[in-house]
Structure 1
Amino acid sequence: MSKTASKPDESDATSLDVDGVPRIGRSMTRMRLMTGRRLIGRLAIQSVAPGLELSHLDVLDAIRRAQPAGEVTVGAIAEMLRIDPSRASRVVADMVGRDVLRREASQADARRIIVVMTPLGQRLLSEIKAQKLSIVSEIVADWPKEDVDAFAALFERFIGGYEKVFLSRDKDMPG
Structure 2
Amino acid sequence: MNETMIKTSSKSPADPDGENVPRIGRSMTRMRLMTGRRLIGRLAIQSAAPGLELSHLDVLDAVRRAQPAGEVTVGMIAEMLRIDPSRASRVVAEMVGRNVLRREASQADARRIVVVITPAGQDLLAEIVAQKLAIISEIVSDWPEEDVDRFAALFERFIGGYEAAFLSRDKDTPG
TM-score, normalisation: structure 1: 0.85
1:90-114: CA deviation from partner (whole Å, max 9, x where unpaired): 1111111121111011111111111
Which secondary structure does the structure 2 equivalent of 1:51 belong to?
coil
Pairs within 5 Å for 1:7-46: 16=18, 18=19, 20-46=20-46
Stretches of 4+ aligned residues off by more than 6 angstroms = none
Alignment correspondent of 1:120: 120
Counterpart in 1 of 2:169? 169
Matched, 1:138 2:138: yes
Counterpart of 1:97 in structure 2 is: 97
Q: Give the match's secondary structure for 1:154.
A: helix
- 1:158 corresponds in structure 2 to 158
In 1, Cα distance between the equivalents of 2:169 and 2:85? 24
Q: Residues of 1 paired with 2:59 and 2:161: CA distance?
A: 25
* Cα shift at 1:172: 4.7
Superposed displacement of residue 171, structure 1? 2.4
1:63 alignment counterpart: 63
Matches of 1:32 and 1:88, distance apart in 2: 25
Match of 2:54 in 1: 54
Q: One-letter code of the match for 2:93?
A: A
Counting matched residue pairs gives 159
1:77 aligns with 2:74: no
Letter in 1 for 2:47: S
Residue 118 (structure 1) shift: 1.2
What corresponds to 2:6 in structure 1?
none
- d(CA) in 2 for partners of 1:111, 1:65: 23
**Equivalent residue number for residue 108 of structure 1:** 108
TM-align CA RMSD: 1.5
Secondary structure (helix, strand or coil) at the match of 1:35 reads helix
- Tell me how far 1:14 sits from its aligned partner: 5.1
Distance 2:106 2:157 in 1: 37
How big is each residue's C-alpha offset from its partner over 1:67-107, in whole Å with a ceiling of 9 and x where there is no partner?
11111111111111111111111111111112111101111
The percentage of aligned residue pairs carrying the same residue is 84
